Structure 1
Amino acid sequence: MNTNKELEYCNVAVWFDRSTLHAMMQALVEAGLNVAWKESQKQFRVTVYTQHGTSDLTLLRLNGAYKLDELDYCVRDMRLALVLYQFIEQAKGHAIVKMMNQDKIVVKNIRYGEAVRIVEIKGAEKKVIYEKACSVTMDQVIAALKRRDAEERIPVMRLELDYELATLYDAIQAKDTAQVKKSKDRLKQLRQEMLLLEA
């Protein structure tokens, strides 16, 4: 492990289902980390023991899903950092990840599990390495701001996304081009709505 590296996770927003949560715990153990957890009706608390001390991850239980509660984490153990990153991607979560080295900082803005902007900061210099174009309209933003049920809608949308992805897979296997197009259009609509609700 390179002790000159440190990762900071900010504005973390990740929803897990039960199986993804178990997979994350297993990945932490397989990475060589000692893990303990405690579950109650309202939350699931994971304590990860590293050479640099302990890190606590608290997940709130809401409508059968788990939401990573703390917004900011400072991680010095690269094994924990990599598992966190992997599951933010896998669960299509959001985060700003800052990787600090001796001479530079690389900042990744992750939305729906993929980097939408990567910036490198070295001294007083700031360089945008990558930036993804946004395709959300002002009408969609206004409609999302008017909605007050985002906390309840997001877990339902995740189930809708899973169902539509399964439908798309079946259509591809059956070579049903009409259903493939229909499923892709529906997935685009759901993605747009999710972007607005979780923004």
Structure 2
Amino acid sequence: MNLGSELEYDNLAVWFDRLTLHAMVHALVEAGVSVTWKESPEQFHLLVNTTDGRTDWCMQRLNGSYKLQLNGILLSDSRVAAVLYQFIEQAKGHAVIRIRKNDRILMKHIHYGEAVRIVEIKGAEKKVIYEKSCNVTMDQVIAALKRRDSEERIPVLRLELDYELATLYDAMIAEDLGQMKQSKERLKQLRREMLLLEA
């Protein structure tokens, strides 16, 4: 795919597992891009040397996953742009990508790794080239209506976290290894949900 000479990524959010992150680093190296990284328990810094200079892609580590969030990053290095685009698709990420081509700009809205809308801007003219049709079933509509908003879910989630912490404490006092393991798994799920809601 010819991405153009200059790309700008906005509202980029991608979750990587360890294997996909390694595959992306390997793909960058294979493309001839120099990369280094620093890792801590909370963060993974991927330092990418592009033709524009060095950029730091800081990823938050959460429950064995890595969340890459970038906003307003401009790339004219086609190697890096192509690899990043490939892994946004592969990891089912989200982004708005501006592709500058001569006298026009293409705006690609990517959701869950798929282009859902492509708009061409040329001067004052704006034309929708592609828009993904909405194929929503009645079951999905009902599920969406039943789902509570995140503002309502967060207080309930906090109560669930407190309850599960109390259950874990009781299990530790009683030395109940089975319940301890079950509570820890439930706490991981609740923590991940909380982080996603508050992101």
TM exceeding 0.5 = yes
Letter of the 2:147 partner, please give it: A
Q: 1:25 to 1:118 in 2, by over 3 A?
A: same
Deviation of the 1:50 alpha carbon: 1.9
1:172-193 CA-partner distances (Å, limit 9, x unpaired) = xxxxxxxxxxxxxxxxxxxxxx
User: Does 2:49 match 1:49?
Assistant: yes
Structure 1 pair 62–142 and aligned structure 2 pair: CA distance change class (3 A): same
Distance 1:113 1:26 in 2: 20
2:37: which partner in 1?
Answer: 37
What SS does the aligned partner of 1:133 have? coil
Structure 1 residue 151: deviation in Å?
6.8
Deviation at 1:48, TM superposition (A): 0.8
Instruction: Find out whether 1:65 has 2:65 as its counterpart.
Output: yes
Report the aligned-residue RMSD: 2.8
- Rate the CA distance shift 1:11–1:107 in 2: closer, same or farther, 3 A: same
- Report what 1:178 is aligned to: none
Deviations 1:41-84 (A, max 9, x none): 11000111122211211110011100003333211101000100
1:136-172 per-residue CA deviation (whole Å, 9 max, x = no partner) reads: 63861672524336871499xxxxxxxxxxxxxxxxx
Alignment-derived partner of residue 147 in structure 2: 143
**CA distance in 2 between partners of 1:100 and 1:151 (Å):** 40
1:76 and 1:142, CA in 2 relative to 1: closer, same or farther beyond 3 A? farther
How far apart in 2 are the matches of 1:138 and 1:103? 45
Q: Which residue of 2 aligns with 1:88?
A: 88
SS of the residue corresponding to residue 32 of structure 1 reads coil
Q: What is the aligned partner in structure 2 of residue 24 from structure 1?
A: 24
Q: In the alignment, which residue of structure 1 is the partner of 2:192?
A: 152
Amino acid at match of 1:147: R
Structure 1: unaligned runs, 5 residues or longer: 156-193
Given the superposition, is the C-alpha separation of residues 75 and 66 from structure 1 closer, same or farther in structure 2, using an over 3 Å criterion?
A: same
Q: Is the 8 A contact 2:29 2:35 kept in 1?
A: yes
The letter for the 2-side match of 1:140 is A
**Percent identity (aligned):** 55
CA distance, structure 1, for counterparts of residue 15 and residue 118 of structure 2: 23
Q: For residues 107-186 of structure 1, what are the structure 2 equivalents within 5 Å? A: 107-134=107-134, 135=136, 137=141, 140=144, 143=147, 145=149, 146-148=152-154, 152-153=192-193
Corresponding residue pairs, total:
157
Q: Distance in 1 between matches of 2:117 and 2:77?
A: 24
Structure showing greater radius of gyration is 2
CA 105–32 in structure 1, closer or farther in 2 if over 3 Å, else same: same
Runs of 4+ in structure 1 deviating by more than 6 angstroms, as ranges, are none
Contact 2:6–2:99 under 8 Å retained in 1:
yes
Segments of 5+ residues of structure 2 without an aligned counterpart are 158-189
- 1:17–1:143 CA distance, 2 compared to 1 (3 A): same
The verdict on how the C-alpha distance between 1:141 and 1:84 changes in structure 2, with shifts beyond 3 A counting, is: farther
